C-alpha cells in the first residue's frame, strides 16, 4: 500500500536542521542501564538517512512517567547508546527548550546529533501545549519536523501534534514502515489470516477484537483475557483473574461472529480447552495442566494448557498471515511462558508466514526469547497502544497532523 503522508524522502532536507520525534521510552534495569534498545535501533535508519544528507539532527523523546524533573529518567544514557550505534558525536542537552538548546544547536556541526532532555520533565508536553511546541520549534530552529516515534503517535501531545503547527512535518522511515505493515496486514493480508490475542483485559482490546471479527479467518484467545471469555461461556475458572462487567461486550463480539459465519463460532473464536494452573502467582509456583471443568477453587489459570498449545499450532498450519498481540500466559515466569514460547517458535521457524508481533509486553517477550533482535519475525512493532489503535482502524493524531502525500 502507498503511505498517505509525505515522508522524509519527499522533502528537500539536505544540509538543513531537522527535528526528529523518536520514541526512546526504553526499559531500564535497577541500575538505570538500558535493558532493551529495540526502539533506539528502530530509529537508526531515519537518523542515518538525515546524516547522509548532511543534516544537523535534533532528536527529542520522553522516557517513563516523571512528575517533574527526575534525573533517574534523564535521556543521558540514550545519548551514550546512540553514539555507540551511529558512530557519530551525540551532543546531549539538559533542557528541551530555551537558550541552552539554542546555543547547543548553533554550535553543533553538520552530520551530528543533538539529543534534548526528557520531554515529560515539562508538564506542558502532555497537555499538547501550543506555547511549549512553539518554544521547541524556536529553540531548535528546525526547518523540518520528522515524526518517527510510532509508539507515541496515538497521543495528541505537544511533540506529536502541536509541533506540526509550527514546522513543516513529515513521516520518518520507521513510522512509514510501521503504519503500512500493520495496515496491510489488516486491510489486505495474505490469507488465511489468523489473529492470536492475549493479555489481561478484554476492555483493553475490545475495538481490535471487533475489527478482527470482521477481517480475520480465525481468532485464538489466550492470556488472562481468555478467563473472562471462558467464564462468559459458563466455565468455572476457580480463583483465576477475571474482568467483571464484560458480558455485554462479549455478547456483541459473538453476535458479530454469528452474523459473519455459516459455521460454528467456536471454530472461529478459539478458546482454551485446558489451562496451566497454580495456587499462587510466583516464580517458584509449579505448573499443572487442568482440563476445563476440573479447576479447584484455589486454582488460577496462568497459561494456556498443553492440549490448547497443540490445538493452536494445528490452527496455524497453512496460515499466511499471523497477527499476535498479547502474551498467552504470565510469560515473565518460565513455567507459564510455554504457550507464548511455543507460538514464538512456530512463527520464527516458518518464514513463509507473515508474522506481525504487537508492541508492548508481546514485543518485550519475543525479543528476550528470540536472541536475534526480533529478526526471526516479519515485523516486531515498537508501539503497544499505537499498534492496537491502528489495528482497530482508529485515526492516530501524530500521523493525521503530518503533511499529506502529493497526489
Q: Which residues are catalytic?
A: 39, 201, 360, 385
Orientation angle between helical segments 206-215 and 173-187, nearest 10 degrees: 60
Residue 1 CB neighbour total at 10 angstroms? 10
Radius of gyration (C-alpha) of the chain in whole angstroms: 23
- CA dist 159 and 194 (Å) reads 35
Computed from CA positions of residues 10, 13, 19, 24, in that sequence, does the dihedral angle turn out positive or negative?
A: positive
- CA dist 319 and 317 (Å) reads 6
Under 8 Å between Cβ of 325 and 205? yes
Residue 294 CB neighbour total at 10 angstroms? 13
- CA dist 14 and 366 (Å) reads 38
Orientation angle between helical segments 223-232 and 247-260, nearest 10 degrees: 80
**Do you know the residue count of the chain?**
407
* Residues with Cβ within 8 Å of residue 26, at least 6 apart in sequence: 34, 35, 36, 37, 38, 39, 40, 63, 78
Run of H or E residues at 37: none
Q: Which of 204, 264, 271 is nearest to 232 (CA)?
A: 271
The residue whose grid cell reads 528502530 is 42
Amino acid at each position: 500500500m502507498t503511505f498517505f503522508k509525505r515522508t522524509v524522502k519527499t522533502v528537500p532536507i539536505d544540509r538543513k536542521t531537522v527535528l526528529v520525534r523518536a520514541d526512546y521510552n526504553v526499559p531500564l534495569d535497577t541500575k538505570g542501564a538500558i535493558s532493551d534498545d529495540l526502539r533506539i535501533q528502530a530509529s537508526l535508519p531515519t537518523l542515518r538517512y538525515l546524516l547522509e544528507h548532511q543534516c544537523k539532527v535534533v532528536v527529542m523523546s520522553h522516557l517513563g512517567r516523571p512528575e517533574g524533573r527526575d534525573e533517574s529518567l534523564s535521556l543521558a544514557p540514550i545519548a551514550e547508546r546512540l553514539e555507540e550505534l551511529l558512530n557519530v558525536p551525540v551532543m546531549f542537552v539538559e533542557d528541551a527548550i530555551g537558550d541552552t538548546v539554542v546555543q547547543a544547536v548553533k554550535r553543533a556541526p553538520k552530520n551530528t546529533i543533538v539529543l534534548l532532555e526528557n520531554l515529560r520533565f515539562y508538564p506542558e508536553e502532555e497537555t499538547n501545549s501550543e506555547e511549549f511546541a512553539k518554544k521547541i520549534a524556536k529553540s531548535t530552529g528546525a526547518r523540518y519536523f520528522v515524526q518517527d516515534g510510532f509508539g507515541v503517535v496515538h497521543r495528541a501531545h505537544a511533540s506529536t501534534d502541536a509541533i506540526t503547527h509550527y514546522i513543516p512535518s513529515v513521516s520518518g522511515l520507521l513510522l512509514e514502515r510501521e503504519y503500512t505493515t500493520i495496515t496491510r496486514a489488516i486491510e489486505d493480508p495474505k490469507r488465511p489470516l489468523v489473529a492470536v490475542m492475549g493479555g489481561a483485559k478484554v476492555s483493553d482490546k475490545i475495538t481490535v477484537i471487533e475489527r478482527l471479527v470482521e477481517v480475520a479467518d480465525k481468532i485464538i484467545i489466550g492470556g488472562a483475557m481468555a478467563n473472562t471469555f471462558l467464564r462468559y461461556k459458563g466455565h468455572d475458572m476457580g480463583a483465576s483473574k477475571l474482568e467483571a462487567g464484560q458480558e455485554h461486550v462479549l455478547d456483541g463480539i459473538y453476535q458479530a461472529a454469528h452474523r459473519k459465519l455459516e459455521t460454528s463460532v467456536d471454530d472461529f473464536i478459539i478458546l482454551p480447552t485446558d489451562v496451566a494452573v497454580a495456587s499462587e502467582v510466583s516464580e517458584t509456583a509449579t505448573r499443572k495442566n487442568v482440563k476445563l471443568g476440573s479447576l479447584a477453587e484455589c486454582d488460577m489459570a496462568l497459561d494456556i494448557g498443553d492440549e490448547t498449545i497443540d490445538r493452536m499450532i494445528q490452527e496455524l498450519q497453512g496460515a499466511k498471515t499471523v497477527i499476535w498481540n498479547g502474551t498467552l500466559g504470565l510469560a515473565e515466569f518460565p513455567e507459564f511462558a510455554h504457550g507464548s514460547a511455543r507460538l514464538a517458535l512456530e512463527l520464527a521457524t516458518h518464514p513463509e508466514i507473515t508474522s506481525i508481533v504487537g508492541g508492548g509486553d508481546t514485543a518485550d517477550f519475543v525479543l528476550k526469547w528470540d536472541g536475534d533482535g526480533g529478526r526471526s519475525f516479519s515485523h516486531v512493532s515498537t508501539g503497544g497502544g499505537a499498534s492496537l489503535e491502528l489495528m482497530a482502524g482508529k485515526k492516530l493524531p501524530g500521523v493525521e497532523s503530518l503533511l499529506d502525500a502529493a497526489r
